[in-house]
C-alpha cells in the first residue's frame, strides 16, 4: 500500500541545504511503458516496480568523485557529491537533494512499517527512502538505489 504525502507532510523532508547553482532541467517524462522499452530490466524493476538492489552491489556507493547524480530514467539532476556521505548501509546516501523540488515523497508499507519513499519529481521513478538519522546539517539520510542514479563528473 502506498500513499502520497501531503504538502504539509513533505515540508519535513524539504531542506534548504541545496546547491546554489542548481542546473536548469526541463522535465520530459515518458509513460511507464516508454520507460520499460528504453531502460534495462534492472533499472525498470527498481524504479517503476519499487525494487531494491542488494546492499553494497552498486559502484556508486563508494564513488568519491565530484559531480552530479541524475535520475537514471529521465536525467533530472537529483543529488550532488557535496551532499554524499558514507552511511555504512551499502547504498549511496546523501543528506540533501540538489533542489527540494527535484524529489517527491510517498509513504510505503512494503516492509509492514511505514517508510518514506523518495521519487524523482519528473518521471515519478522510485529512487529509495529517506530517514531521520543522517548527518548535519539536515540530519536526513536519503538512502538511494545506485541503479536509479547515474553519475556525471
- Supply the residues annotated as catalytic: 143
- Among 88, 118, 114, 121, which residue's Cα sits nearest to residue 105? 118
Give the Cα-Cα-Cα angle 123, 124, 125 (nearest 5 degrees).
90
Report helix, strand or coil for 36: helix
In angstroms, the CA 35 to CA 43 distance is: 9
Amino acid at each position: 500500500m502506498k500513499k502520497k504525502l501531503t504538502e504539509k507532510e513533505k515540508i519535513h523532508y524539504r531542506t534548504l541545504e541545496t546547491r546554489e547553482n542548481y542546473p536548469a532541467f526541463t522535465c520530459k517524462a515518458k509513460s511507464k511503458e516508454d520507460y520499460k522499452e528504453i531502460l534495462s530490466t534492472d533499472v525498470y524493476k527498481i524504479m517503476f516496480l519499487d525494487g531494491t538492489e542488494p546492499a553494497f552491489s552498486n559502484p556508486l556507493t563508494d564513488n568519491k568523485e565530484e559531480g552530479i547524480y541524475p535520475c537514471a530514467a529521465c536525467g533530472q539532476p537529483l543529488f550532488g557529491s557535496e551532499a554524499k556521505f558514507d552511511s555504512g548501509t551499502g547504498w549511496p546516501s546523501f543528506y540533501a537533494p540538489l533542489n527540494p523540488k527535484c524529489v517527491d515523497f510517498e509513504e510505503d508499507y512494503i516492509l509492514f512499517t511505514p517508510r518514506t519513499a523518495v521519487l524523482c519529481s519528473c518521471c515519478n521513478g522510485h529512487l529509495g527512502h529517506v530517514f531521520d538519522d543522517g548527518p548535519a546539517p539536515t540530519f536526513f539520510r536519503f538512502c538511494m538505489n545506485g541503479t536509479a542514479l547515474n553519475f556525471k563528473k
